[in-house]
Structure 1
Amino acid sequence: MKIKLKYLFVYLLFALFYFTSCQEEITDIENPNDQETIISNSNLAILLSRTTANFGAADDILDGASCFSVELPVTVEVSDITMIIETPSDLQQLENLYNESSMDDDFLDFIFPITIVFSDYSQIVIENEDELQDFVSDCETEDADAIACVDIVYPISFSVFNADFNLIDTIVIESDEALHGFLDNLEDDENVVVVSLNFPVNLQYSNGDSIEVNSNEELADAIELAGDDCSIDDCSEASLVSSLEACPWEITTYSSLPEFIGMDLVFYSDNTFAFYQDGNTYNFVSYWSLITTENGLYLNLETDFEDFNGEWHVVECANAILQLTKEGQTMVINQECEDDLGCSLTDISSILQECPWDFSNGSGNFETNQMIFNANGDVQISEGMAASAIGGSWDLSVTDAGVWLTFAELTAFQESLHGDWLIVECDTDRIVLHKDDQTLVLEQNCNTDLFSCFENTQLIACGIDGFATFNLTEANTECGPDLAIYGIYYYESESDLQSNINRIYTPESYSNMYNPTVIYAAIINIYDEAIVHMFTIDLIVENCNYFACFESVDAVLELCDEGTDGLYEFDLSIAFADCTPTADLVTYHETLADADSGSNIIVNPASYSVADVSSTIYARVEIENQVDIFPIQLNVMTCNAGNCSEADVDGILIACEWNITSYNGSDNLSHYNFHFEYNSGIVVIYTDSITIDATWSTSQTSDGVIIDFSNVTGPNIQAVNGSWLVVECTANQLILHNVNDSSLEIVLDNNCE
């Protein structure tokens, strides 16, 4: 007998000792906290080891032993037929063959030698049946407590530290086998390396659900939540009802009528069900119910489709597969949920916008219609190449049931198309959707006219007394064919267009004469002046409040009095920073009279100095030849160290950008810059190469002001997540201590320059 063990991490251990010896390569970094460190024999390490263990029960149809698996590919003989088993799909076909036959448990023979793989991925070569049976006899039935209901989405990475908490390496893990071996080599010894898992980490449950975790605690909870309940595995009536209604089911085996293989069954909550084949439904109403008897559970199908009609005995419910028997017939159906689509929500969004789509619900109502999905969320339904007569909106969303396409605000076909449609099949040129007992099939039609995308549209602008300036070239911006020898021209009347006279020569700044106004547009061959396509643009002027953004801002700027008794410098431009990009001109004045007249402008508002501890400045805002004035209150506060109020801290943080000059005495995080956004609760954390959108908030407690950081992702910087007490506070520097571990300290310095 040949024994072969895989030592997967010789390189890793060598690398650790190598980096430990090369002090010039060591990077100092803060101590990893308990939410990141992986400790040998801890609950999390054990859970990860169980999750990544080789799952020997997956191929019990081959070896009948759950504590090891047979390495694929393997050759077997079944009833004098030689088969090569290469994939898990081949195992399922082998199991279906066994279930459909009257064979006993010894229905296959191996072609030796074979290799068996244990839960720790160690391997042994087996030379004959006797050797195999020795291991089968010794096999324990608990399958080494493997957790098979959840998988880790790779790659993941670990930061490796030496005993002084210096970062010496980052290890990338690509597979269960690699992670299992990595965990086996962890030693619970304070003199050796410390390993920290880099979050976020994604997990995929066997029922199709997925989850993102951001700490050790969340990871352990998510794995424990999976437990052993992978799918419907008990054939209880309640479990089966939920599973039948959750997703469509595909017939993978029908013993007497193989032509039914590939047909889909959809079970609705009103106890009706439908047959679908190649996206087409059979037009008769069918009913389903479950019946519990002394002999077990039966799926009762009432349908005009005679071959399906009757009571089907449920003989197996496991791993999203149902095996049913009736009067000598066997039918196996597989659950087809979101994971079976082969398209993500992003994929579907991109596919929908590529080309127009022909569509049908099997009734023949839409044979000449096409759908066009625009990036702005509009959907147009046209007949042939004619201009769109039907409009509405479209949206994609994801639930536990799968990906949904929603049609809303339709101007026609509301009864046929309006509502939420579950996507049950997705290819690059074909999408099948279900809603209740309806089916909608979309087929991509990219062979459309080059200019059909340019359709009748409208532009809406803010104006005064019904007049405004429009950029006509913004109409149909979603259309992007290579016009090459063609140009787009605009006219004030249809007769001018037909005669190709009186073109609008400044379409980027056209002022309307009426409200509304119709502009006529033509795509013209620039060589022979032939008109190849025409469309209209409706110009609509609405009375708008240009200054709504400015009116919504409580413009108060605050600085801390540092005891200099001198001038206080404010940056006036940040008072309305979110609004000023929409203005044509913003100037700042010391008096209201100066602001009214536009005189005595403050020359450098970004560094305005004032001696008073309380004063008012006036911002004069001009938009579309309209003027309004808004006050800015300037306050100088007493900010004693460690005694700032919540309002003080908020004002200090949003006044400038900040960076971490020290984390537990280390400057390794000083390249991270913090921009605290006003009123949004967003803090943008960035370096030269990465940007993180995290969240922040403050609260006042009896101990002082608390700053909370959350959703901070990325290597090392995730350590700032949590609650921090402000222990020292000035306009230029904040010193924070972790609420749960006061030994952890952050020093933030402003970067106003």
Structure 2
Amino acid sequence: MKKTPKLLSVLLILLSILIVSCRQEENEFIEANPEETLKANSNVANLLLRTSMNDGSDDNIIDNASCFSIDLPVTVNVSGLEIIVDSEEDFDTIEDIFDEFDDDDDDLEIYFPITIVLADFTEVTINSFDEFENFSDDCDGENIEDDDIECADIKYPISTSIFDINNELIGTLDINNDQELYNFIDDLEDTDIVNVGFPIVVILSDGTEVEAFNLNQLEDILDDAKDDCDEDDDNDFDDDDCENCSTDQLADVLTGCDNWMVDKLERNDNDLEDLYVGYQFNFMADGTLSATSNSDTFPGTWESAGSGESISVEINIPNLPDFNDTWNLHEIEQHDDENQVDMRLGDDRLRFESDCTNSGDGNGGDNMGMLGTILQDGLWTVASYLDDGIDETNDYSGYELNFNNDGTVVADNGSLINGTWVVQNSESELLLNFGTSIPFDEFNDNWDVIATSDTSVELRDTSGGGGGTDTLILEKL
């Protein structure tokens, strides 16, 4: 028992040493890695704040405002069609409607109330168009330099350790998204000392991942990247100006898909795409191309040059002069199995489309799916044909249609009219071509499939320019 005071004294001395040691370790934690110590209002902190801001430009096709975004879902009316927008895929749908015709007004109406998300992630409920305008008027216009950095993204999570010299508390925090990082940087005080866990990975606009091993490197990466891309702050969707297009990308798309069709052809204010229904274009890597229609083949050449927004595409098909010119590449679109290449020349326009699912022989074969199976099962009649609202069904009275497995279709009323048929775009379209044979030349088009059953197929086509609608209903005998 007499040894207890001595033992207690030794323990107190050891405890004192341990406390001093811990305090020294705290000081070393703060001071040993100055390149990892994040200060409020420092340049790197401001760059991180700008990188983590809410980017409001993705939905500009709806709100025409880059300084805030609309919280989805939201209901809009686009040129008379009501759409519930709940993903970026619906932005594509809106753009497709806008792009369908060049001589109409692209109207979009937002149904209120909506919730908008500001650059600092504040959410505001908007109940009317007047309230909406109050916010949108505060935004800068298209492609005006703004605070947010869209050319770089932080790869999460990142870890931080915090020491507040006022209360000497040490804490750790994992940051998992832009909103958490923005709030963290925005709440930093001058008295806060933050140590950041490295390495931090930064994802650049071209998808490249770059590692930073200290704050100086992170600052340099973000500073270099902030103006290194087109931030796509125009009021469309997915950067239609082809800023990042290349001739290699164009060649890969054109030669990688078979049987391109003419989706749009406008020359000198004339809509000519209906003249080329059933034509299939194939582009070769050696610069040659061929266009085929029924048994006719038209050879030609193609060539591209330039980069970005200044790519020219020269097409020369001697026997198809409507295509011959040096076009400017406007847009390359790739969505699932549907691909489009859009070219412009002043007010003229040429757009090719391919679903990349046909076998390459122009026939349906095994690629026609359920719709192909239905059409090949028996004979069909024209139950109804409305040409822009005018009933022309009687022109087809007495004809029986036979859809063959080799991609041919025969109309028979005692004399035969031959044509071709192709199901495409995941059975959403039926391409018919009867050449110049009256009256079935009226059916030469790429029809949208509206409804199908074992005994009925309903098709619809909206013409370019004037916007007239044709409806064709086939019924099984």
Q: Secondary structure of the equivalent of 2:220?
A: helix
**Which residue identity is paired with 2:351?**
T
TM-score, normalised by the number of residues in structure 1:
0.33
Residue 101 of structure 1, CA deviation? 2.8
Moved more, 226-235 or 130-139: 226-235
Q: Which has the higher helix share?
A: 2
**Which residue identity is paired with 2:217?**
E
Residue 109 of structure 1, CA deviation? 0.7
Identity of aligned pairs, percent? 32
Check if 1:199 corresponds to 2:213.
Answer: no
Q: Secondary structure of the equivalent of 2:211?
A: strand
Q: Write out per-residue CA displacement over residues 590-617 of structure 1, whole angstroms, 9 at most, x where no aligned residue.
A: xxxxxxxxxxxxxxxxxxxxxxxxxxxx
Q: Write out per-residue CA displacement over residues 164-197 of structure 1, whole angstroms, 9 at most, x where no aligned residue.
A: 89772221111111111111001112xxx31111
User: Do the aligned partners of residues 116 and 35 (structure 1) sit closer, same or farther apart at CA in structure 2, a change above 3 Å counting?
Assistant: same
Per the alignment, residue 134 of structure 2 pairs with: 134
| Structure-1 separation of matches of 2:106 and 2:121 | 26
Check if 1:220 corresponds to 2:219.
Answer: yes
Work out which of the residue numbers 255, 259, 263 in structure 2 matches 1:255.
263
| Structure-1 separation of matches of 2:122 and 2:172 | 26
**Which residue identity is paired with 2:99?**
N
| Structure-2 separation of matches of 1:212 and 1:59 | 30
Residue 78 of structure 1, CA deviation? 1.2
Per the alignment, residue 187 of structure 2 pairs with: 185
| Structure-2 separation of matches of 1:246 and 1:231 | 23
RMSD: 4.9
Q: Tell me how many residue pairs correspond in the alignment.
A: 294
Work out which of the residue numbers 313, 318, 326 in structure 2 matches 1:299.
313
Q: How does 1:59-208 map to 2 (within 5 A)?
A: 59-102=59-102, 107-141=107-141, 142=144, 144-163=146-165, 168-189=170-191, 193-208=192-207
Q: How does 1:522-537 map to 2 (within 5 A)?
A: none
User: Do the aligned partners of residues 236 and 89 (structure 1) sit closer, same or farther apart at CA in structure 2, a change above 3 Å counting?
Assistant: closer
**Which residue identity is paired with 1:137?**
D
Per the alignment, residue 31 of structure 1 pairs with: 30
| Structure-1 separation of matches of 2:284 and 2:126 | 47
Q: Write out per-residue CA displacement over residues 191-233 of structure 1, whole angstroms, 9 at most, x where no aligned residue.
A: xx31111111112122122212111111111112222332598
Per the alignment, residue 561 of structure 1 pairs with: none
Q: How does 1:122-521 map to 2 (within 5 A)?
A: 122-141=122-141, 142=144, 144-163=146-165, 168-189=170-191, 193-230=192-229, 240-241=245-246, 244=249, 255-256=263-264, 272=287, 287-290=302-305, 298-301=312-315, 310-315=325-330, 323-325=342-344, 327-331=348-352
Q: Are 1:230 and 1:319, in contact at CA under 8 Å, matched by a contact in 2? A: no
Q: Are 2:75 and 2:84, in contact at CA under 8 Å, matched by a contact in 1? A: yes
| Structure-1 separation of matches of 2:65 and 2:80 | 23
| Structure-2 separation of matches of 1:127 and 1:60 | 19
Check if 1:44 corresponds to 2:44.
Answer: yes
Residue 50 of structure 1, CA deviation? 0.9
| Structure-2 separation of matches of 1:274 and 1:201 | 48
Instruction: Return 5+ residue gaps in structure 2 as ranges.
Output: 1-21, 233-238, 265-272, 291-298, 355-477
Q: Write out per-residue CA displacement over residues 470-506 of structure 1, whole angstroms, 9 at most, x where no aligned residue.
A: xxxxxxxxxxxxxxxxxxxxxxxxxxxxxxxxxxxxx
Bigger RCO (CA 8 Å, 6+ sep)? 2
**Which residue identity is paired with 1:220?**
E
Q: Are 2:161 and 2:196, in contact at CA under 8 Å, matched by a contact in 1? A: yes
User: Do the aligned partners of residues 244 and 266 (structure 1) sit closer, same or farther apart at CA in structure 2, a change above 3 Å counting?
Assistant: farther
| Structure-1 separation of matches of 2:253 and 2:95 | 22
Per the alignment, residue 367 of structure 1 pairs with: none
| Structure-2 separation of matches of 1:132 and 1:272 | 51
Q: Secondary structure of the equivalent of 1:48?
A: helix
Q: Secondary structure of the equivalent of 1:255?
A: strand
| Structure-1 separation of matches of 2:64 and 2:164 | 45
**Which residue identity is paired with 2:223?**
E
Q: Are 1:85 and 1:91, in contact at CA under 8 Å, matched by a contact in 2? A: yes
User: Do the aligned partners of residues 241 and 154 (structure 1) sit closer, same or farther apart at CA in structure 2, a change above 3 Å counting?
Assistant: same
| Structure-1 separation of matches of 2:208 and 2:51 | 16
Residue 139 of structure 1, CA deviation? 2.1
TM-score, normalised by the number of residues in structure 2:
0.50
User: Do the aligned partners of residues 288 and 162 (structure 1) sit closer, same or farther apart at CA in structure 2, a change above 3 Å counting?
Assistant: same
Per the alignment, residue 452 of structure 2 pairs with: none
Q: Are 1:232 and 1:317, in contact at CA under 8 Å, matched by a contact in 2? A: no
| Structure-2 separation of matches of 1:305 and 1:109 | 46
